[in-house]
Amino acid sequence: MSEVSRFYGGPGGLLATISSVFAAAGLDRATLRPADLAPVDEFHIRGRAASLEIVEALGLTPGSRVLDLGSGLGGPARTLTELTSCTVVGVDLTPEFCEVATALSDWTGLSDRTRFQVGDATNTGLPDASMDAAMTVHVAMNIADKPGLYAEAFRVLRPGGRFVVYDVLQGEGGAVHYPVPWATDPSTSFLATPEEMRELLPAAGFEISAEVDSSDESLAWFQQLRARIQHDGPPPVTFAAFLGDAFGQMATNQVANLAERRIRTVMYTCSRPL
């Protein structure tokens, strides 16, 4: 198991934890919708609001085939398929994430349009030009081989297909305060700068049509999250379920990282030329 997969995989039992808390809250799994799961499976800054922006940027239609590189617990994938009736293949390095993502799709009635498999985002094994769209959501921070990641996205996309990247980037304010939700120290953290992204994506063959910096909105989101944790403690099922006791410190550090411009959140909309 890689260091990244070990970091996210935690001690195990994530699916049982989620299931028991939902049962204790009286939630009927037969009637769950993807939005009901947002506190646990939208594992990215600004949560569902960012997912909706990604849906719009991808421009999907019913039947579109989408690749989610680094699919995590599958929140963005389920949002996409719920709103557009597309089908999504998710690839993630962490086996437990794929197990939970598959179960959550089953609970929400979306298992026929989502599939999650353990794999390397730089080498998925999927056929060339087999996807209509692709996305990565808070993934490349853990991937040193960014040219390989973006080349793989380009390879699996059909000509004209869109690729959306929503990631945490290195800001101008200096080194990141650790721990953060993707790493406890710099050994598994590989942040690109916005300037590097503007070179990496075209180098893979993509045309960039939009670059949206949401850092100010992200700071407000984390400030609200930190305030809720300080006042009420962590919700019973959230990112803390697999990040453990360090989650509170991670949230605090993210506020400082964003406020001091040590990190930025940016979304790129790209396409593979016809």
Per-residue pLDDT tens digits of the chain, which is 274 residues long: 455 545 554 445 778 877 877 777 677 777 887 777 776 767 788 988 899 999 999 999 999 999 999 999 899 999 999 999 999 999 999 999 999 999 999 999 999 999 999 999 999 999 999 999 999 999 999 999 999 999 999 999 999 999 999 999 999 999 999 999 899 999 999 999 999 999 999 999 999 999 999 999 999 988 887 787 777 766 555 555 556 667 778 888 988 999 999 999 999 999 999 9
N residues, the chain: 274
Cis amide leading into 179 (omega within 30): yes
The set of residues, in sequence order, having a beta carbon less than 8 Å from that of 38 and lying 6+ positions away, is 47, 48, 75
* pLDDT recorded at residue 224: 83
Amino acid at 112: D
Kindly report the number of other CB atoms within 10 A of residue 208's CB atom.
15
How many helices (H) and strands (E) are present in the chain, helices listed first? 11, 7
The candidate with the shortest Cα–Cα distance to 90, out of 109, 74, 107, is 74
What pLDDT, on the 0 to 100 scale, is given for residue 237? 56
C-alpha distance from residue 97 to each of 19, 48, 159, 246, 263 (Å) = 14, 18, 30, 19, 25
pLDDT of amino acid 1: 44
Domains annotated for the chain, with CATH where assigned, are 3-271 (3.40.50.150)
Tell me the C-alpha distance between 92 and 111, whole Å.
17
**Angle at CA of residue 138, ends 136 and 142, nearest 5°:** 100
Measured distance CA(55)–CA(209) in Å, rounded: 15
Confidence at residue 22, expressed as pLDDT on a 0 to 100 scale: 73
Instruction: Tell me what pLDDT residue 170 has.
Output: 98
